[in-house]
């Protein structure tokens, strides 16, 4: 199973390759990771095993990493925007 860091780094590379600016991609990664952590915290009791909590975050994270491109676009960014700079 890939780690949280692996999932985030791969998606970050994908979005930067599509031409989104690195700054907005970083914000999107924070959003996706925060959402996955928030849902895991909501679903599990505070004292729940940290290893199991991290496993749940990793299970939830791909959904948010997929959705983060919509999040970026809703902020007015488009793929290829970095290729328009001279």
Per-residue confidence (pLDDT) for residue 48, from 0 to 100: 81
Q: Which residues contact 44 (CB under 8 A, 6 or more apart)?
A: 52, 53, 56
* Long-range contact pairs involving 24-28 (C-beta distance under 8 Å, separation at least 24): 24/72, 24/75, 24/77, 25/72, 28/68, 28/69, 28/71, 28/72
Given a cut of 70, whether residue 85 has pLDDT beyond it is no
Q: What is the pLDDT of residue 44?
A: 92
35-39, 63-67, 77-81: lowest mean pLDDT where? Answer: 77-81
pLDDT above 60 (res 29): yes
């Amino acid at each position: 199973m890939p780690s949280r860091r692996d999932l985030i780094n791969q998606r970050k590379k994908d979005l930067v390759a599509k031409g989104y600016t690195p700054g907005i991609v970083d914000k999107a990664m924070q959003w996706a990771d925060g959402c996955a952590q928030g849902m895991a915290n909501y679903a599990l009791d505070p004292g729940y095993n940290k290893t199991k909590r991290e496993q749940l975050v990793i299970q939830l994270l791909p959904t948010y990493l997929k959705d983060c491109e919509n999040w970026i676009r809703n902020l007015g960014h488009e793929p290829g925007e970095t290729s328009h700079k001279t």
